[in-house]
Amino acid sequence: MFEKRHRITLLFNANKAYDRQVVEGVGEYLQASQSEWDIFIKEDFRTRLENIKDWLGDGVIADYDDPVIEQLLTDVDVPIVGVGGSYHSPEHYPPVHYIATDNHALVESAFLHLKEKGVHRFAFYGLPASSGKRWAVEREHAFCQLVAQEKYRGVVYQGLETAPENWQHAQNRLADWLQTLPPQTGIIAVTDARARHVLQVCEHLHIPVPEKLCVIGIDNEELTRYLSRVALSSVAQGTRQMGYQAAKLLHRLLDNESLPLQRLLVPRFAW
């Protein structure tokens, strides 16, 4: 008798560094466990979402930070493991087995890093609610909670979503905000990309970093970090570990193991 080969669908945008690293973690588990899986991943899967339920195979690991994917997988009758950001309110988690990056721990690591550098004034550069990025909302919430607990005054600027047509306007508004911050303010950016925006504006305004303003990002996205003359500190997510744990959990579900709803927080990985 041959062991059944499972067809597994990965719903991620393989053009994005975060998604690729999660998928790499799935691959690491596949090699470590020698599982009999046939993996299906399509970079442009979004063009075929209308037929998604027809080609999911025996199990799915999916990006649950994408509300469209979450909605489309509602009532799907195959084992699903979602991967995405953590939530401070338990009721915000989707009703599937879930592997989460710990948004609070990511922001806390950035906050503590700045404190160790002697920073006592803090600011957060996030994303507007209109972006639909729920993880950005969670990171902003974590920042506000941390500065309140430590009795600091925290300043939040969500800024604008950037696109080629509004890039200069968005950078000008960011410049206006940065010039309101007192010296020796530590800025936590919601992503490395947003941190790079800050560094670019500081360069144009001749604001020395880190002498006058300190900047730290989240994601440790290597390409983004190199697109600036000033070295960028960043907190890395445990993305490969997220993918590994998601695949490990899916394997248990495929083996018909009876499990209560699983929610696993993966801490930040490294600087």
In CATH, what number is assigned to the domain containing residue 170? 3.40.50.2300
pLDDT (tens digit per residue) in 170-203: 999 999 999 999 999 999 999 999 999 999 999 9
pLDDT at 48 over 80: no
245 and 190 together in one domain:
no
- In sequence order, the β-bridge partners of residue 154 are 122
pLDDT at position 1: 39
pLDDT at position 47: 44
pLDDT at position 53: 72
117 and 39 together in one domain:
no
Residue of 119, 121, 122, 79 lying closest to 98 (CA atoms)? 79
Q: Is residue 1 part of a domain?
A: no
48 and 144 together in one domain:
no
pLDDT (tens digit per residue) in 72-128: 899 889 999 999 999 999 999 999 999 999 999 999 999 999 999 999 999 999 999
pLDDT at position 269: 56
Separation CA 246–CA 266 (nearest Å)? 11
pLDDT (tens digit per residue) in 202-254: 999 999 999 999 999 998 887 776 777 788 999 999 999 999 999 999 999 99
Please check whether residue 59 is in contact with residue 29, taking contact to mean a CB–CB distance below 8 angstroms. Answer: no
Containing structural domain, residue 131? 103-235
pLDDT at position 225: 67
Question: Of the given ranges (53-62, 138-147, 219-228, 256-265), which has the lowest mean pLDDT?
Answer: 219-228
pLDDT at 154 over 60: yes
Q: Is residue 72 part of a domain?
A: yes
pLDDT at position 261: 95
Separation CA 134–CA 193 (nearest Å)? 17
Reported confidence tier of residue 43, pLDDT bands at 50, 70, 90: low
Q: Is residue 184 part of a domain?
A: yes
Mean pLDDT of 52-76: 88
Separation of CA 271 from chain center? 15
Long-range contacts, 157-160 (Cβ 8 Å, 24+): 157/123, 157/124, 157/125, 157/126, 158/125, 158/126, 158/127, 158/128, 158/129, 159/125, 159/126, 159/127, 159/128, 159/194, 159/197, 160/128
142 and 169 together in one domain:
yes
45 and 126 together in one domain:
no
Separation CA 230–CA 227 (nearest Å)? 9
194 and 112 together in one domain:
yes
pLDDT at 54 over 60: yes
123 and 220 together in one domain:
yes
Q: Is residue 93 part of a domain?
A: yes
216 and 250 together in one domain:
no
231 and 111 together in one domain:
yes
- The token pair that represents 155 in the structure block: 């300043």
pLDDT (tens digit per residue) in 10-27: 999 877 888 999 999 999
97 and 108 together in one domain:
no
pLDDT at position 270: 45
pLDDT at position 45: 55
71 and 190 together in one domain:
no
Reported confidence tier of residue 2, pLDDT bands at 50, 70, 90: very low
Q: Is residue 271 part of a domain?
A: no
Element (H, E) at 111: helix 103-116
